[in-house]
Structure 1
Amino acid sequence: MPAVSAITDPGDWLRTVVPFDRLNAAEQAEAAGVVQTAHYGAGETVLPRWRVPGRLFVVADGLIEEHDAIGIVDRFGPGQAFDYRAIVQGRTESTFIARQTTTCVTLPTAVVQALIRGNTALQSFWDEELIRKADALIALQQQREAGSLLLIRLGDASLHPPLFVGAATTLQSAVEQMKQHGTSYVLVRRDDGKVGIFTGRDVREKSVLMGLDSSTPIAGIASYDLASLDREDFLFNALVMMTERAIRHVVVTDGRDIVGVFEQADLLRYVGDSSFAIANRVERASTVAELEQAGRAIPRLIAALHGRGVKPRYIARVVTDLNRRIFRRLFEQVVPADIRAEACLMVMGSEGRAEQLLPTDQDNAVIFGSPPDRARTDAPLQAFSQALCKMGYPPCPGNVMVSNPAWAREQAAYRRDLAHWLFDGKPEGLLNLAIFYDAAAVAGDEKLLKGLKEDLFDLLQREGTHVGYFAKATLQFPLPLGFLGRFVVEKAPPHAGQLDIKKGGLFPIVHGVRSLALEHAIRETNTISRIQTLASEGSFTDSFAADLIEAFDFMSMLRLRAQLERPQTGTATDNYIAPASLSKLERGLLLASFKVVDELRKSLRYHFKMELIT
């Protein structure tokens, strides 16, 4: 790539840069006519956070750093572009700063969007780039999460009080005291003041193997080379010490005084349910049982993140990553490699939209490249569904699972289904179309799913009027608002005094936005991403898009909080909340959220002329 000093025509230079080298001659001429060059000094802000981007930047020379609220997220050198994610979402989520003197070639956002709509190769490149960016951000978030947990000071951790015994304490007495106090150690204080530690492992490896009598004093077999850290040290240091010295106990001091003992089990309680640790356990799992054990920690992680005030959409991103890791590893473990090589495992529904929190019912399927040999495929696919049930993912009431042959077929069969679902107009077919549109590939040959989605968009381009039938389901459930803005709640048990926030609020947003996204052939599956894309294309005003996102976030939070307050039974969670249990402010926000939903429903009724659809 030529140095910036050698660039005399930025339009010509842009033609050499991926992915703009994929433009045809007319598109290259269009880009060359509006391209501009911008120069930035070291430390200068190129693009601030929360800004609506007017242009796409391509680094010609120098270095750009992307920063979020915590630190550096990414770096962009010559030939790399930013911030396409902001163009899709409607605003930047990061700040972009010139690390050194930098020159950028820029294109107007509207031109970039037009080029992408007209060039499938360009669109494919940016779709893949968005996936790469999302994966990188999740990995960074997990690293930060693990790091922040390990930066807790030992003095702020849950320490076991120092359990001292005298030098004459016998083996039997030491074991009895460990059992009585619920510890796996005692601290032995000798007559000369020296302190040692005697642990449960010493009982097994020293006293038993050495054949010592139960009346033997432990002072002679205790360890006096104590592993100790100050109360101001971090959990990270305890982790390093335990790893390097292959020990399970660290003595915590305050000056010369022993103030507690930190055990390996304590450390696991801090990091064991972090997304970083769960992901590591999933990747290391070699059996279905180990995967199940890792997956059981996810609800505890959700509760912990919710307790820290993390928005449900960000929790869902973490949960989506973990769930998909589990599905992928399980698929590898129970489905033979030769079958996996010719198939694509996909998840649908809320899992496909990356909005899954606590487990709901399974929505998954398999696409084969050619008609499957049922004698080879049925048993492993049954095993896959059964294993997910054991892991706490309830079976789908509609049987949308890989164990159902109707959802484990060849690409050509699904292609016929898409046309049937769209043109037939029956509720079951439209539901299948909805969950398929939300599908995301998890394992295997992703091109099989991508090809089917392109087929769907081609169908819609020819027969777009059918989207109105699809969108009509937005009005399926009544808005739970009555006279003078009062909430309409159930009168009979078991949900007396409650309302279904999914049917009344979340579903109309999800499906209404999904309908518009389908009409516009939007590739994103996440509801908020779809809202942002629709706003950038003019289907929503920026203010209404912001209201929709706020309503979706708030109602998702209320649903999650109510679900976490109920016992976890291993069955699909319900979606009821009790308005009377909310604060006055929360009731006001819920009322405002339902009014936003009502506005969306009215706009969709008009847009799709639903009064004419029978």
Structure 2
Amino acid sequence: MDTDTGCELLLRIDPFSRLVPEDIKSVAHRLEMVSFEPGRFVFRQDDPSQDALLVIVSGLVELLVTSERGEEAIVGYRKSGEFFGETVVLSGQSYPGSARAKEPLTCIRVGRDVVEELIRTHPDFSEFFTTLLAERMRRLYETIQSEQNDLFVGKHELPLFNKRVGEIMAHPVNCCRMTDQVSDVSLDMAHKGVGSSVVVNNTGRPVGILSRKNIVYHLVARQSHPVGDCRASQVMNDNFETIAPEAFVGQALAILTRQRQKYLLVIRDEKPAGMLTAKDFIKSRNMGNLTLLQDIRSHRTLDELAGVSGEVDGVLNALLIEGAGTSDTLEVMSGLLERLTRAVIRISEKQMADKGLGPPPVAYCWINMGSAARHEQTLRTDQDNGIIYADPDPKEHRAPGQIKAWFQTFADMVVQGLARCGFELCTGDVMASNPLWCRSVSQWKACINQWGGSFDPEDTRNMTIFLDFRPVWGNQSLADEVRETVFKILSQAEVSNHMLTRDDVTHEKPIGFMGHIRTEKSGPNKDQLNLKTHGLVHLINGIRIYAVNQEIKEVSTLGRLEALTRQGTFDKDTAEILRTGFETLMMFRIRTNVEKLAAGEVPDNYVHPGSMSRKQRELLKDALLAVGHMQKMITRDFNRAWIGFFSG
């Protein structure tokens, strides 16, 4: 076949059809025609990549997969005008399956160098392969997730997190009207044995929830209304969360855990359709640990709180048993751990008052940093926290030293309380008990200015840590004010951005020559991979630097990724690759650490690729390729001169 005929054939096949004839002709001399007799293998499963895309000119090829038991199965065919080998042409991985000529086969061999050149110079051509990788990663991730759920749940039960809200909600809903007397509603609730009533307007739409707690607080404790004349609208809680019955259970549990409310109202056609509380999950199998949601709220002493905090790990096990996805697991566990943190702070405030030290002298905000702030904490790892407190009003003549002393005493109390509840002390001393992380608003602003203009690696480290902070308790406006200063400094000091990218662009790529995973070469973790330091950290850091450049306030990695995609920084397929890579690495990390914890070992984020199934290794490689993709993006989008300067 001559060159012109080969070029014409390529131009009829996607993604080459996205090019113009001149583009194909410019690389025609680098294309190769290859032929195979029937029965001959083009490549075999687990062979190293040939670094080529094979476009079929004539003939038929069958694609096969051999199971770990040695059983061979045909999974597809490719005919004239189609191609194969695309899954590894860019990754350099071993072939996940075999390709064998079914009929006399002739192909155009398009080398990896040609494909990469066309990707670099033609965005439409590049988009095809990005979409291909994104779809492959998502399918493989969902397959592995399902298989791992089977190991925990068993194949004959539907995991709770695969169910819809409508399947577990309590219904029908007890309702009352805005004008109903509270005394009548209370009697109705007692008669029906329910703890709340949804308040609706004249059209039947919900406007609030009236609970026993509302009634006791307003009519007994505060006596804010005459009992005989009080209407439901006067004492109801109009701040409530809603969800659709078609939503998955995981979304509902994440909302219940994250919010400080007891009820989640299920809405269909703008009318109440059902109600969800923690009890509805507890009634479902394996979720009894969610009594923690009630226990954390009810305990008033640190001893009581420390007693129940040990059950947190049981919630994580229950989530795995019930088939929770990675994002659901992160949301629920982070919400639960935040509740525990807020309870410790609340109890510590009371202890300060009981000791005669009084209430907080000025408004303050307790912040979490690190994985806790990013909502990526599943086990109770070490603490990363701080305090931002308001500058005293000069008119009140309060001594700054006395205010500082109060917050230092308070911070020590909270940090030790968290330690009693299983949150280990930070070995790097990134805790509110360290004066460096307990400052007034003006002190924080001055500190951020100093970090932003510094070339000291320690200042860079501190700035990186501080970029991921989330308000947990107190006056959030103080945190917002400080965050605005962070964005202002980084927007004015371009150097700071490149300091933050230094480690990612200079770090060795996790996939080596011939598509092999780079593992530890010696020591106690020989042949193992640290999922955190060699994978997750680089995705988290990369997404962070893009988010900071766009002044995105969200601090969770998945939340930042979603925001960056909405505003067009990442296209949909690139975002899907990064998201699936992150969820994959996090899934392996969570399950590996839980298994080690159950075996009495220390969770250390290490996994042994050699002990994984073939599918798991494929997915792990794809996730690590996403890490490499992020490193390339950072190198492309940030000034190379600055990167070189800071790497020297």
State whether TM-score is above 0.5: yes
C-alpha change, 1:568 and 1:464, in structure 2 (3 Å) is farther
Aligned counterpart, 2:344: 330
Whether 2:624 is the aligned partner of 1:608: answer no
What are the Cα deviations for residues 349-392 of structure 1, in whole angstroms up to 9, with x where unaligned?
11111111112210000111134524433333212212212211
| 1:32-51 mapped onto 2 (5 Å cutoff) | none
Whether 2:357 is the aligned partner of 1:343: answer no
| 1:240-279 mapped onto 2 (5 Å cutoff) | 272-274=288-290, 277-279=291-293
Q: Separation in 1 of the partners of 2:381 and 2:598?
A: 12
Conservation of the 8 A alpha-carbon contact between 1:464 and 1:519 = no
285-294 vs 542-551, which moves further: 285-294
What is the identity, as a one-letter code, of the residue corresponding to 2:456?
Answer: K
The alignment-based identity, stated in percent, is: 26
Q: Separation in 1 of the partners of 2:602 and 2:545?
A: 26
Q: CA deviation at 1:489?
A: 1.4
What are the Cα deviations for residues 509-563 of structure 1, in whole angstroms up to 9, with x where unaligned?
1000000100110111111111111112221110010111011001101011110
Aligned counterpart, 1:289: 303
Whether 2:513 is the aligned partner of 1:483: answer yes
Alignment match of 1:299 (pick from 304, 313, 317): 313
Conservation of the 8 A alpha-carbon contact between 1:361 and 1:572 = no
Aligned counterpart, 1:352: 373
491-500 vs 134-143, which moves further: 134-143
Q: Secondary structure at the match of 1:566?
A: helix
Whether 2:503 is the aligned partner of 1:408: answer no
What is the identity, as a one-letter code, of the residue corresponding to 1:461?
Answer: S
| 1:3-14 mapped onto 2 (5 Å cutoff) | none
331-340 vs 418-427, which moves further: 331-340
Q: CA deviation at 1:441?
A: 0.8
Whether 2:492 is the aligned partner of 1:462: answer yes
Q: Separation in 1 of the partners of 2:364 and 2:415?
A: 16
Q: Separation in 1 of the partners of 2:482 and 2:599?
A: 37
| 1:45-444 mapped onto 2 (5 Å cutoff) | 69-71=164-166, 135=255, 138=258, 140=264, 143=276, 146-151=279-284, 272-274=288-290, 277-335=291-349, 336=352, 338-339=359-360, 342-370=363-391, 371=400, 373=402, 374-444=404-474
C-alpha change, 1:405 and 1:508, in structure 2 (3 Å) is same
Aligned counterpart, 1:596: 626
Q: Separation in 2 of the partners of 1:460 and 1:570?
A: 44
What are the Cα deviations for residues 387-421 of structure 1, in whole angstroms up to 9, with x where unaligned?
21221111111101111111111111111111122
Q: Separation in 2 of the partners of 1:368 and 1:392?
A: 26
Aligned alpha-carbon RMSD (Å): 3.1
Q: Secondary structure at the match of 1:424?
A: coil
Q: CA deviation at 1:291?
A: 1.2
Alignment match of 1:549 (pick from 536, 557, 579): 579
What is the identity, as a one-letter code, of the residue corresponding to 1:290?
Answer: E
Q: Secondary structure at the match of 1:409?
A: strand
Q: CA deviation at 1:279?
A: 1.4
Conservation of the 8 A alpha-carbon contact between 2:565 and 2:571 = yes
Q: Separation in 2 of the partners of 1:610 and 1:512?
A: 16
Q: Separation in 2 of the partners of 1:469 and 1:443?
A: 31
Q: Secondary structure at the match of 2:359?
A: helix
Conservation of the 8 A alpha-carbon contact between 1:394 and 1:572 = no
Conservation of the 8 A alpha-carbon contact between 1:366 and 1:409 = yes
Aligned counterpart, 2:596: 566
Give the unaligned 5+ runs of structure 1.
Answer: 1-67, 74-99, 103-127, 153-269
Q: Separation in 2 of the partners of 1:412 and 1:309?
A: 47
Q: Separation in 2 of the partners of 1:444 and 1:145?
A: 25
C-alpha change, 1:138 and 1:416, in structure 2 (3 Å) is closer
What is the identity, as a one-letter code, of the residue corresponding to 1:146?
Answer: K
Q: CA deviation at 1:588?
A: 0.4
Q: Separation in 1 of the partners of 2:362 and 2:599?
A: 36
C-alpha change, 1:439 and 1:569, in structure 2 (3 Å) is farther
Conservation of the 8 A alpha-carbon contact between 1:360 and 1:572 = no
Q: Secondary structure at the match of 1:533?
A: helix
Q: CA deviation at 1:457?
A: 1.5
Q: Separation in 2 of the partners of 1:375 and 1:514?
A: 34
Q: CA deviation at 1:499?
A: 1.0
Q: CA deviation at 1:476?
A: 5.3
Conservation of the 8 A alpha-carbon contact between 1:346 and 1:441 = yes
Q: CA deviation at 1:294?
A: 2.3
Q: CA deviation at 1:340?
A: 7.2
Q: Secondary structure at the match of 1:603?
A: helix
Q: Separation in 1 of the partners of 2:599 and 2:623?
A: 30
Q: Which has the higher contact order (CA 8 A, sep 6+)?
A: 2
Q: Secondary structure at the match of 1:338?
A: coil
Q: Separation in 2 of the partners of 1:436 and 1:580?
A: 37
What are the Cα deviations for residues 82-126 of structure 1, in whole angstroms up to 9, with x where unaligned?
xxxxxxxxxxxxxxxxxx9x9xxxxxxxxxxxxxxxxxxxxxxxx
Conservation of the 8 A alpha-carbon contact between 1:394 and 1:571 = no
What is the identity, as a one-letter code, of the residue corresponding to 1:494?
Answer: P
What is the identity, as a one-letter code, of the residue corresponding to 1:496?
Answer: K
C-alpha change, 1:490 and 1:134, in structure 2 (3 Å) is closer
Alignment match of 1:450 (pick from 470, 480, 485): 480
C-alpha change, 1:308 and 1:478, in structure 2 (3 Å) is farther
C-alpha change, 1:375 and 1:533, in structure 2 (3 Å) is closer
Q: Separation in 2 of the partners of 1:466 and 1:496?
A: 36
Q: Secondary structure at the match of 1:365?
A: strand
Aligned counterpart, 2:534: 504
Q: CA deviation at 1:151?
A: 4.9
Conservation of the 8 A alpha-carbon contact between 2:596 and 2:602 = no
Tell me the TM-score normalised to structure 1 length.
0.57
Q: CA deviation at 1:307?
A: 2.6
Whether 2:535 is the aligned partner of 1:519: answer no
Q: Separation in 2 of the partners of 1:512 and 1:473?
A: 10
What is the identity, as a one-letter code, of the residue corresponding to 2:482?
Answer: L
Q: CA deviation at 1:318?
A: 1.1
Conservation of the 8 A alpha-carbon contact between 1:341 and 1:444 = no
